[in-house]
A and B are shown apart, each in its own frame.
Chain A
Amino acid sequence: MDSNQLEELLRAALEAHAEDAPEGPTLQAVLAEARKASRPRPRILLLLTAAALVGIALTGTLITGIPVVGVKPFLLGTRTTPAPALATVRPSASPVQPTWWQDPCTLLTNREVVSTLQADRITARTPIAMTSPVPGNAGIAAAGHCLWDLAVPGYSRGQVTLIVQTMTNPTTAHSWMSGERARTAGTVGEYSPVAAIGDEAMQQSRPSGQGGLTFRVGATIVIIVAEYDPADPAPSVGQPEASRTLASLVAPRLSQTTASLAPTDLSAETSARMISPSGNIACGFGRADIANPATAVWVSCQARNADWHMTDPPLCAHGALGDEADLATGGSPSLGCHTDTIFGADLPVLAYGASVRYSDLSCTAANTGITCRNGVGHGFTVSVQTYAFF
């Protein structure tokens, strides 16, 4: 049988069999079925609605994961913010006296914390007393609060506002990011309290941020400081107020080099700090790797109550102070932001005319400021009134 014959036979077979087809549905049956098909299906809609409500109730979210406002999930809860336990804070019998310019929030770390969050509040009625290396200076943390994130042991940070009162500038306000420094006793466990903080300083609160992740640790502390500002900006050589308390290792050597031409070499030290005779400029030396004397070294000098500050960026991040000049081995000087301070108690005094050397860096004090330079001839001069690079 060839193809044509097969196709003809097939056509005939299909035609013949098609004649046996039943009549099919009536018009009325089709219309009745059409009515059913066009009618909403309440049962299905009811089931879908019920399923959606159950799902929202269980998870607090739609299928797409969009949270439903006002619905608190249960059973299959998909909380994005696990409820942290409240911190337990207990006072200790060993008080800690805060030091001058210390991060106020770090003053509050001496607590026993048994959960992941602690909130400390400082009020006007529960001030923190602060001490200054300058006689007559005093500080008070009058208000604010600190929050701790103990998910990272030893870590805290927060926004700190500081108001400094001096004789010449009674209401100088500073704001900086507190913390971002290791806590002295960071692990969850025993902490000692700060003596000057009363019961209200130990208030606790629940977090409002996202649990488990980086928790915003904020702190706002207002410190009112009554600071003595010496009328004479340049006291007599070798007789600064702070020099009476010199006790560091390098102090005797610096004293001996007063007004001498040969610089004192401090390269063997892992770091060193010093202060100008007026007490207005402090400098610190350091090296990139304290275990390796061959690594690059740096020097930073800060001017207290400086008339200048870093202008680019115009404001240091988080309110950090911009009154610091930096210089490193082989580099050019620059201004830097800082949240800590080189100033401190019992710093050795670099007398006018004296020099100190730290590897290829050297600094010389004069009554016009402190000048530091590196081995390639770059450097800076810093005074209260101004700064200069070369």
Chain B
Amino acid sequence: MRGVAVSASTDFEAWFPMGRARLMRVAYLLTSDQSRAEDLAQATLVKVYLSWDRISSSDNVNAYARKVLLNEFNSDWRRPVTRREVLTDQPLASLTLVADGPNDPSDLFALVKQLPPQQRAVLVLRYYEGLTEAEIAAVLGISSGTVKAHANRALGALRAQLPQTQEEA
């Protein structure tokens, strides 16, 4: 790996708070796990920093950082060794929420967490980041048709849960 003068540039320092917060939110939505979200964000921020001289002049550093984050996420969930159990002292709230049904928006996220990673990523990029299908396709490195398919399947899976829970509510 090439050597980089590791000293925080003024531009990076200025970008860091907002960039980190944005990346952390997306990472947390993708992973639903604080530790994994921090790992993803840190790996992404390091790469952004090491590439800062090259990307800082571009118009959209955030888009680059998002792309790096999604690459890290894809690499992460595809890597078997990362499919590990995380020890935690927190209660399994999601199971409770699912059992009771999504009574509020946060409950709906409990269903989102159960979606496959690619479908979850599509929903996050589309309904949180507000990207178009084409932009999502570019970020994930897949075709627009695949993006649409992932979105339809994901929404269909959510809808299959919601009417029943809505009626019960």
Contact of B25 among A9, A18, A35 (CB under 8 A): A18
Q: Are B24 and A22 in contact (CB under 8 A)?
A: yes
- Find the A residue at minimum CB distance from B19: A24
Cβ contact within 8 Å between B109 and A21: no
> Are B109 and A14 in touch, CB under 8 angstroms?
yes
B7: A residues at CB distance < 8 A = 31
Within 8 A of B (CB), among A1-52: 1, 3, 6-7, 9-25, 27, 29-31, 33-35, 37-40
- Complex contact A34–B50 (CB within 8 A): yes
Within 8 A of A (CB), among B1-19: 1-4, 6-8, 13, 16
Which B87-146 residues have C-beta < 8 A from chain A? Answer: 102, 104-109, 112, 123-124, 127-128
Encoded as 1 (CB less than 8 Å from any B CB) or 0, chain A from 122 to 145 comes to: 000000000000000000000000
The interface bits of chain B over 131-165 (1 if a CB of A lies within 8 angstroms of the residue's CB, else 0) are 00000000000000000000000010011001100
Q: Is the CB of A33 within 8 A of B34?
A: no
Pair B105/A30 contact, Cβ less than 8 Å: no
Pair B28/A20 contact, Cβ less than 8 Å = yes
B127 and A38 within 8 A (CB) = no
Judge whether B21 and A24 touch: CB under 8 Å.
yes
Tell me, rounded to whole Å, the shortest Cβ–Cβ distance linking B154 to chain A.
Answer: 9
In the bound complex, CA of A10 to CA of B151 (Å): 12
Cα distance A159–B23 in the bound complex, in angstroms: 80
Residues of B with C-beta under 8 A to A40: 1, 3
Q: Is the CB of A21 within 8 A of B155?
A: no
Q: Is the CB of A27 within 8 A of B42?
A: no
* Contact yes or no, B128 A11, CB < 8 A: yes
CA distance A17 to B106 in the complex (A): 6
A25 touches B41 (CB 8 A): yes
- Asked if residues A34 and B46 are in contact (CB atoms below 8 Å), the reply is yes
Cβ contact within 8 Å between B163 and A1: yes
**A31-B49, A34-B50 known; A25+B1 contact, CB < 8 A:** no
Nearest CB in chain A: distance from B165 CB, A: 10
B45 close to A (CB within 8 Å):
yes
Give 20 pairs: A residue, B residue, CB < 8 Å, sorted on A.
Answer: A1-B159, A1-B166, A7-B127, A9-B162, A13-B109, A15-B128, A16-B109, A17-B106, A18-B25, A18-B29, A18-B128, A19-B25, A21-B37, A23-B24, A25-B20, A27-B13, A29-B42, A31-B49, A34-B49, A35-B6
Closest 5 CB pairs of A and B: A21-B28, A13-B105, A12-B105, A13-B108, A24-B24
